[in-house]
Amino acid sequence: MSRLEPWFRLRSVPGIGNHLFRRLMDRFHSPDRVFAAPHGEIAAVEGVSQRLAAAIKGQPLTDAVKKELAQVDRSDYSILTMNDPGYPALLTQIPDPPPFLYVLGALGDCSRNIAVVGARNATAYGRYTAEKLCREMAAAGITIVSGLARGIDTAAHRGALAASGKTIAVLGTGLERIYPEANRDLVQRIAASGAVITEFPLKAGPDPHHFPVRNRIISGISLGTVVVEAARKSGSLITARLSAEQNREVFAVPGNVHSSKSAGAHFLIKQGAKLVETMADIIEELPESATRHLAWNPQAPEADSTEMRLKDTPPLTPEEARVAAALGPYPVHIDLLVRSLGMDPGMLSALLMRMELKGVVIQTPGKMFSIETDKRTSISKS
C-alpha cells in the first residue's frame, strides 16, 4: 500500500474538511492510526459525530483516489503530507492547513517567504513596483510567494526570476489545469528553481471558490503579505486579512490616491499595515532568524528608478529616448507631454506610436501614456 493512500482515503470522507483533518491528526498523529482507532475514540474528537466516525471506519479507497495517485506516480509531481519533513513549518501553524500539497519543483527552505499579491488588472505602476520590489527581495535571498494570477502576481514571480531567485506559485487549480493558460511557460520557469503548489486534485479547474480558499496558503506559508495594488473589495484584501489572523505581518504599497486600484492598499495602511516604499521597510519587520543570512546591505543606496525602468529596452532614437525619460509608471496625458517636451503634437503622437510598437510605452484610454515596465530596457542614445 502506498504511504499516501491513507491520507487520500481519509481526505475523501464526506464531511472531513481541513479543520477536522487537523483535529484528527492532533489526536491520532497519522491517518493509519485514525483508521485503526476504535469508533468511540474517533467520535470523541471535537466535531466528529457518531455517524461521521462510522463513515471514517467504513471509508474505502475509491477508484478516483487510486487513479489520482497513479497519475502522480507517472508524473514529475510530488506530494508532501503535513507529517513530512519538507512540509512548510509556517503552514502547520495555521488552523486549517491542507493535509497534503501537490508540488511541482522543490519547496526547499520556506523560512524566508514573503507573499506579494495585488490586482489582476494592474496599472503599469503596480506591475513595475511589484516586479522591482520582488527582484530586489529575491536577490537578497527572500523567497517570493504569489498566486500566478495576471497582473501583480505575474509581475512578482517574474521579478524573482529576473534576479535568479526563488519563487513559489500557489494555484487555485490542479497542476494539470494551469490558470491562466498564458502563464504555462512561467510555471515551468518557477518550478525550475522554486515550486508550484496546490491542495486541489490534479484536474481541478479554476472554480471561483477555489481562489479565496487558496489565499490562506499564500499567507500561511509566508512571514508576511505585501499588497501592491488592490480594490477595496478584492481577493488581495482577503489574503491580507488572513495574514493578520495568522499573526503574520501585513504590508501595503501606497499608490495614486485617485486610483480605485490603490484603494485597498490605502485602506490597509489606515488599518495599521506597514507602508512599504523600499525593501528595507519589509526586512526590518522580519524576525532576526529570517534576516540573518540575507545578502542585503541596509546602507546600500537605492537604484535609480529611471535607470532601472529603462534598462534593457530596444534601442531608441534620441527623440524617443527624450520622450521615454519624460514618462513614468503613472499615465500622463499627451497634452501634458506636449507642453513639458515642447514638441509638435503630430510628431509626439508618431513617436509614441513607434515606442508603443517597440513595447516601451503603454497607451491607456483617454490618450494617457506611461512607460512599459515589464520590459525594462536600456536606451541607446546613438
User: Tens-digit pLDDT profile for the chain (382 aa)?
Assistant: 589 999 999 999 999 999 999 999 999 999 999 999 999 999 999 999 999 999 999 999 999 999 999 999 999 999 999 999 999 999 999 999 999 999 999 999 999 999 999 999 998 889 989 999 999 999 999 999 999 999 999 999 999 999 999 999 999 999 999 999 999 999 999 999 999 999 999 999 999 999 999 999 999 999 999 999 999 989 999 999 999 999 999 999 998 888 888 999 999 999 999 999 999 999 999 999 898 889 876 666 554 444 444 445 568 899 999 999 898 877 889 999 999 999 999 999 999 999 888 878 888 778 888 886 544 434 433 3
Alpha carbons within 13 A on the beta-carbon side of 7? 20
Q: How far apart are CA 120 and CA 134, in angstroms?
A: 17
C-alpha cell at 11: 481526505
pTM of the predicted protein model: 0.83
Q: How far apart are CA 286 and CA 249, in angstroms?
A: 8
Delimit the domains of the chain by residue range: 1-67, 113-291, 305-371
C-alpha cell at 106: 522543490
Q: What is the DSSP string of 45-99?
A: STT--HHHHHHHHH----HHHHHHHHHHHTSS-EEEETTSTTS-HHHHTSSS--S
From the DSSP assignment, how many helices (H) and strands (E) are in the chain? 19, 12
If 0-12 CB within 10 Å is exposed, 13-18 middle and 19+ buried, where does residue 330 land? Answer: middle
CATH of 1-67 among 3.40.920.10, 3.40.50.300, 1.20.950.20, 1.10.150.20: 1.10.150.20
Beta bridge partners of 113: 143
**Distances 318 to 135, 354, 379 between C-alpha atoms, Å:** 29, 13, 9
Q: How far apart are CA 35 and CA 194, in angstroms?
A: 35
Beta bridge partners of 12: none
Q: Report the phi/psi class of residue 23: left, alpha or beta, with left for phi > 0 and alpha for psi in -120 to 50.
A: alpha
Q: Within 10 A of 14 (CB to CB), how many other CB atoms are there?
A: 7
What angle do helix axes 152-162 and 184-193 make, rounded to 10 degrees?
40
Query: So what CATH class is 113-291?
Result: alpha beta
Q: Is the peptide bond before 180 cis (omega within 30 degrees of 0)?
A: yes
Query: So what CATH class is 305-371?
Result: mainly alpha
- Please give the single-letter amino acid code of residue 189: R
